[in-house]
DNA sequence: GCATATCCTGACCGTATGGTCAAGATGAGA
DNA sequence: TCTCATCTTGACCATACGGTCAGGATATGC
């Protein structure tokens, strides 16, 4: 039963506990928002005494900031598919798939992000102004290139991006509403596939990247 | 300068103060979330002493519940355009316009709703299960009729509705992000029109309700 | 084995918050 | 004018929260 003896190294202890805390914090912040979350609840969920949290993260805000930053990183990474693609069907299609998968696997992260932005980004405003702005410009340039190459209609690239974010993140942020409207049950594998297919069909057809069925 | 004399009737006082409080509460709940909002801040914004709030609304939760209920009512009303329409171009087009207008004029309400749902609807779960479920079924039936009449492609009606909600409410809930990506300035009239047009074009073309430009 | 840096945690503290209350002010109705 | 119901509010309370700290436990490097 017992983890036969070998004591954990300091490094393993630190990494393990930080991961435990960040994971618990992400869930609690997602469920209760920054203001509604309590360090005690995060501590309980992580299985550590509250004082231990303050050993690794000096303040609630520092812990929150780390959570949001991690989410932001994952979130940007999901977009690599965009650049490598030869055209909108592959690029936007793969991006929708990737973001829907994140919404399914890590809904808490998406909710924390949404909550942060809804509250006027008190913690990560600098990221919005730098990294996200640059990322957006880059992706808009790609879309414009596709338009010029005649691979899709002359859609406003900015609003297209907003639409991609909105539709995919909706399945995480409003997951509870969707679940309730699904008779209280989470979406099945088939239903998730239907969701992805619907989003991809409407958008890709809507921007003139694919013809009628 | 002074409101020359006539004393306010009890009824006027009650209605006026309740409106003041509800308006302040909507803004504070939207900015800070339920947990982060304080009765003191709502009182200050309404220009009333805190104890007066508790005279009209016994608890913070009761006040919050009233705010969410009001939002829900406005929100459903915006959908009347749906049923009266002869087809998807008019019905969905007008619905998008109406919801975008709400996002523009009452972003706080949309944020409170989003926050409530993200936190698993602790206060209005019953509404989701009854009113919203029925409303959704009704609208899905309308969409199915349009499909059968050949007015649009055989799109999954449920996911189409989610897409409409997601895209339109995104402009309220993520308004701060959109503003930041717009150089820190709110969208101009023209930009709002472009947003509406983009959403309508992509969706209506995406579901096969209108042909290529 | 010893010294040191790191890790752990129960007990504690100041503050802010939701909510209460009692006493006074004010409009309604006769 | 007088009575009553409604409205107002400063002062107050109990609680819960974020954060601190001192002292003990544990791994590390020599």
Summarised one tens digit per residue, pLDDT across range B83-132 is: 889 999 999 999 999 999 999 999 999 999 999 999 999 989 999 999 99
Question: Is B35 part of any domain?
Answer: yes
Task: Tell me: do B107 and B150 sit in the same domain.
Answer: yes
CATH at residue A136:
1.10.357.10
Total domains, chain B: 2
CB A39 within 8 A of CB A60: yes
Question: pLDDT band at residue A10, thresholds of 50, 70 and 90?
Answer: confident
A199/B121 CB distance under 8 A = no
Asked if A76 is an interface residue toward chain B (Cβ–Cβ < 8 A), one would say no
Task: Tell me: do A114 and A24 sit in the same domain.
Answer: no
Contacts of A171 in chain B (CB under 8 A): 162
Q: What are phi and psi of B59, to 5 degrees?
A: -135, 165
Question: pLDDT band at residue A6, thresholds of 50, 70 and 90?
Answer: low
* Mean pLDDT value of segment A117-142: 94
Task: Tell me: do B84 and B155 sit in the same domain.
Answer: yes
> What is each CA distance from A152 to A132, A142, A158, A193, A205, in whole angstroms?
24, 12, 15, 24, 9
Distance (Å) from CA B53 to C1' C25?
A: 18
Interfacial B residues in 82-141 facing A (CB < 8 Å): 111, 114-115, 117-121, 125, 128-129, 132-133, 136
Task: Tell me: do A54 and A107 sit in the same domain.
Answer: no
Question: pLDDT band at residue A83, thresholds of 50, 70 and 90?
Answer: confident
Distance (Å) from CA B42 to C1' D12?
A: 21
Q: What is the rounded end-to-end Cα distance, in angstroms, of chain B? A: 57
pLDDT at A213 over 80: no
Task: Tell me: do A163 and A195 sit in the same domain.
Answer: yes
Task: Tell me: do B23 and B89 sit in the same domain.
Answer: no
Of A58, A75, A95, the residue at which a domain comes to its end is A58
Question: Is B146 part of any domain?
Answer: yes
Question: Is A2 part of any domain?
Answer: no
Residue with CA nearest to D8's C1' atom: B52
Six-digit token string for A95? 């991006």
pLDDT at B213 over 80: no
Mean pLDDT of the residues in chain A: 94
B173/A199 CB distance under 8 A = no
Task: Tell me: do A176 and A99 sit in the same domain.
Answer: yes
* Mean pLDDT value of segment B184-212: 96
* Mean pLDDT value of segment B180-208: 98
Contacts of B68 in chain A (CB under 8 A): none
Q: Which of B125, B176, B202 sits opposite A207 (nearest CB)?
A: B202
Buried b (16+ CB within 10 A) or exposed e, A36-55: bbebebbbebbebeeeebee
As a whole number of angstroms, the distance between CA A117 and CA A111 comes to 10
Question: Which residue in this structure is represented by tokens 């690239």?
Answer: A157
Asked if A143 is an interface residue toward chain B (Cβ–Cβ < 8 A), one would say no
pLDDT of residue B3: 40
Question: Is B3 part of any domain?
Answer: no
pLDDT of residue A76: 86
pLDDT of residue B207: 98
pLDDT of residue B5: 55
Task: Tell me: do A20 and A125 sit in the same domain.
Answer: no
Six-digit token string for B153? 């492609």
As a whole number of angstroms, the distance between CA B159 and CA A199 comes to 8
Task: Tell me: do B71 and B52 sit in the same domain.
Answer: no
> What is each CA distance from B62 to A164, B66, B117, in whole angstroms?
36, 6, 17
Q: What is the rounded end-to-end Cα distance, in angstroms, of chain A? A: 59
Mean pLDDT of the residues in chain B: 94
Q: pTM to 2 decimals? A: 0.93
* Mean pLDDT value of segment A192-196: 98
B91 Cβ contact partners less than 8 Å away, ≥ 6 residues apart? B81, B82, B83, B84, B85, B142, B146
Task: Tell me: do B72 and B52 sit in the same domain.
Answer: no
Question: Is B2 part of any domain?
Answer: no
Task: Please tell me whether residue B47 adopts helix, strand or coil conformation.
Answer: coil
pLDDT at A132 over 90: yes
Six-digit token string for A13? 């202890």
Question: Is A189 part of any domain?
Answer: yes
CB B69 within 8 A of CB B104: no
CATH at residue B19:
1.10.10.60
Task: Please tell me whether residue B60 adopts helix, strand or coil conformation.
Answer: helix
Question: Is A136 part of any domain?
Answer: yes
B48-66 tens-digit pLDDT: 999 999 999 999 999 999 9
pLDDT of residue A174: 98
Asked if B155 is an interface residue toward chain A (Cβ–Cβ < 8 A), one would say yes
Six-digit token string for A139? 């992706």
Task: Tell me: do A71 and A147 sit in the same domain.
Answer: yes
Task: Tell me: do B152 and B49 sit in the same domain.
Answer: no
> What count of residues does chain B have?
213
Of B40, B58, B76, the residue at which a domain comes to its end is B58
Domain that holds residue B31: 11-58
CB A213 within 8 A of CB B153: yes
A119/B201 CB distance under 8 A = no
Of A20, A35, A58, the residue at which a domain comes to its end is A58
| Nearest alpha-carbon partner for B79 in B125, B138, B154, B127 | B138
> What count of residues does chain A have?
213
Interface test with A, best of B92, B131, B206, B208 (most A CBs within 10 A): B206
Question: Is B17 part of any domain?
Answer: yes
Question: pLDDT band at residue B189, thresholds of 50, 70 and 90?
Answer: very high
Q: Which nucleotides of chain C does any protein CB come within 7 A of?
A: 6-11, 16-22, 26-28
| Nearest alpha-carbon partner for B162 in B211, B107, B117 | B117
Distance (Å) from CA A65 to C1' C7?
A: 23
Residue of B nearest to A34 (CA): B36
B36/A32 CB distance under 8 A = no
Question: pLDDT band at residue B4, thresholds of 50, 70 and 90?
Answer: very low
pLDDT at A54 over 60: yes
CB A143 within 8 A of CB A75: no
Chains A, B: CB contacts within 8 A come to 181
């Amino acid at each position: 039963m017992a983890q036969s003896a070998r004591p954990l190294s300091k490094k393993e202890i630190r990494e393990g506990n930080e991961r435990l805390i960040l994971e618990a914090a992400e869930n609690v912040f997602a469920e209760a928002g920054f203001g509604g979350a309590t360090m005690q609840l995060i501590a309980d969920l992580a299985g550590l005494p509250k004082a231990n949290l303050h050993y690794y993260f000096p303040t609630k805000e520092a812990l929150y900031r780390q959570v949001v930053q991690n989410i932001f990183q994952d979130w940007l990474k999901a977009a690599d598919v965009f650049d490598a693609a030869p055209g909108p069907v592959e690029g936007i299609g793969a991006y929708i798939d990737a973001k829907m998968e994140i919404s399914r696997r890590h809904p808490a992260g998406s909710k924390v992000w949404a909550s942060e932005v809804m509250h006027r980004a008190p913690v990560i405003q600098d990221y919005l102004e730098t990294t996200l702005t640059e990322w957006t410009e880059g992706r808009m340039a790609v879309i414009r290139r596709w338009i010029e190459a005649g691979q899709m209609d002359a859609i406003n690239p900015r609003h297209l991006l907003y639409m991609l974010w909105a539709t995919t993140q909706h399945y995480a942020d409003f997951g509870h509403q969707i679940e309730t409207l699904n008779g209280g049950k989470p979406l099945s594998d088939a239903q998730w596939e239907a969701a992805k297919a619907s989003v991809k069909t409407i958008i890709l057809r809507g921007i003139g990247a694919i013809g009628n069925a």
